Structure 1
Amino acid sequence: MNGNKGVKIIAAVLAAFLMVLSVPAVQPAQASTLSQLQKKQSELKQKKAQVDAQIKNLKNDKTKKQQYKDALTSQISTVEEQIDNLNDQIADLNSDIKEKENQIAQKQKNIDTNLAKLKDRLYAIYLTGDASTLEVVLNAKSVMDLADKAEVLQAITQHDTDLINQLKDEMKSVSDQKAEIEKQRAAVAESRKQYDQKQSELTGYIKEANSALAGIAADQSAAEAQSRELAKQEDEASKAVDAWFAQYYASKGSGTSGSGGYISKGNFTWPVPSCTRLSSPYGPRDGGFHKGVDISRSGIYGAAIVAADSGKVIQAGYGNYGTGYGGYGNVVAIDHGGGYSTLYGHMSRVAVSKGQQVTKGQVIGYVGSTGQSSGPHCHFEIRVNGVAKNPMNWFTK
């Protein structure tokens, strides 16, 4: 049932109840005959039966909508897994291409060196002239001297032959590897095409799921209650993170061990290079306070998230309630030294581990919708001595 039909049914239900409430009070028997009262009673019974049927249909329809929404949620999860898989394939192919390019570079270096040796050898033969070998033979002082010199000539000739064969083999190997790279680049292009198709599918499923979810809410107050509950959970998660950072900085002291010795100067790079759109800014939100910014756009699921600055990973993994990061799903926090730290929430998966040293711009995870999240996005925070600040104070749009 679409939204308009649902609204009509609800309106019919309300109208029916209003009709029930608006029926005049039953007058004493002398004002109305018994037959009239019985007729009215029958009419009301029939009307109630109609309303009950409408309520039942509406209830059944809601159940179907919930099942439909659950099916969409499952499908979204499946498509997200497909996107993650394609991301892994692309990363592996790119890594293999890079490795082969390094091998080619080394082989090309060997080819250049051996080619230079061969050129020098040929140049030496050219300078000595064609008679050089004959002169060696004629100038031999004895048979033993001739045998020795012939062996030397054979060794030189064999060396030249081996050098030429080695060059041929290496050049063929380079040619084969270049052909393999082209195949892998074609595979990357095909994976990218599938990736884009899956992103389009995911966007469509998310829109359908949001539409179904909107249809489930019986009225505006239910939706508002749901929003308030989500805001409450987000606020609780935010307070837990505040407490965790306060405890962390209290135990850390003034040293730089927490950042691995690195001291940030507050020069940050944007955490999601492929997207600069903010879906939710820093500041008051739904009765709470949003202590970071949400970065999102259509098709962002699976996009790379990078470290805003160098430093040491102090949290990486799923933020269960009680860990200080409940509600943030897959989350990474980095101590950059100098009092600076950053947090990245709701990742589809994490690409670093706690205690790992990372460099500015290094991939640390991928955009997802884990934890208390209404859709794929990256929740990004910048903190100074554990206190959340507006990240946009460090960036210009």
Structure 2
Amino acid sequence: MNRFSKLFKTNTKKGIRMVSIVMTMVIVSFTAFGFINVNTTVDARSISELEKKISDLEKSNKNLSNNLNNISGQIKDEEEKQEIYEKNIENTEKQIDLFKQKIELMQHDIGLKKGEISVKEKEISESQDLFAQRVRAMYIAGSNSALTTILEAKSFSDFLTRAELLKRISKSDQDLIDKLSKQRNDLEKIKAKMEEQNQSLNASKTQLDKKSENLESMKKQSEASKAQLKAKWDQYYAEKKKNQKLIDQQYAEIDRIIAEQSGGGTAPEGAFKWPVPSSSRITSPFGWRTMFGNRDFHTGVDIGAPSGTTIVASQSGKVISVKYQNVGYGYNVIVDHGGGYVTLYAHCSRIDVKAGDTVSRGQAIAGVGTTGNSTGNHLHFEVRVNGKQVNPMGYVRKP
């Protein structure tokens, strides 16, 4: 036995420990410098889809909130404000549900990562045991060491055979090191991915809590807005009831004027024109409506627009009435188009024509206002055929 072999015979445990340490450092080096490429197996597509839906809803809420800046405080605006609050609440509730789905998916993925880590740690443990056995075998062998194997060759041919055998044994050891290095690298990547998901999970939980708080705030704002809206409608109907006698007299007078001064000639040719060209916003349609327990029949179409916005004649004809009143229709204009067709324009802020004038289709005749028994700046537009109020939408189209 040569001196080299004897040295390792007497210090086998120490030698194995040293080699194991060295080999471990080599494996760690492989991992640290990223020599092993590992593809993660987590499919984040579902989570990304949820995040996009959440983002889209957030954009929708921001747009709705921006619209609140244009609210003027009139009744119809209060209705629109209420609609915005309700839509915001609906969007936020959807976001909360999506966040819960996202958190559930992330928790599931984290659970899978924990399983992967457990499997990898077991694989590494087995590989380390195998590696330790190989190291022990290499140094316990002594007489079968690489140097002894080469020196005991009987011939040059035998020498080549023994060298090839040692090469294969060396490759097997290197494969084992590579495998162990890859396993450790895989483990670190899985742990890093899980830590990233944990951070994202915590962020999502924080966002969920914030959305829940926002939802409660929105509901309180919505209730306050609804109370204001109710108060405005109650005021509207109270004033209408207070002035009902005067309003009835006004309506009777309008009916008399239409009956006496309209109906002659032939029916107008061509389509009727939308009476407020710059606004297509219908704030109250024709027909029955119920507002917080108050029910009435709306005899025309209300078109919302800023005060002073131009009102045009819907069809050519003759102005048969111009009234400046503080109840009911307020400032109003009536135009006879012949053949039993009449249009009425109410709640005007100004009137640009006088009774007896002949007007053409599209000619400016007044400005939008909120005079009389009104809920805010708008045009109350009526179409009457043979004295009967009909749905204007059967005669005009929004621009």
TM-score tier after normalising by the smaller chain length: 0.3 to 0.5
Q: TM-score, normalised by structure 1?
A: 0.39
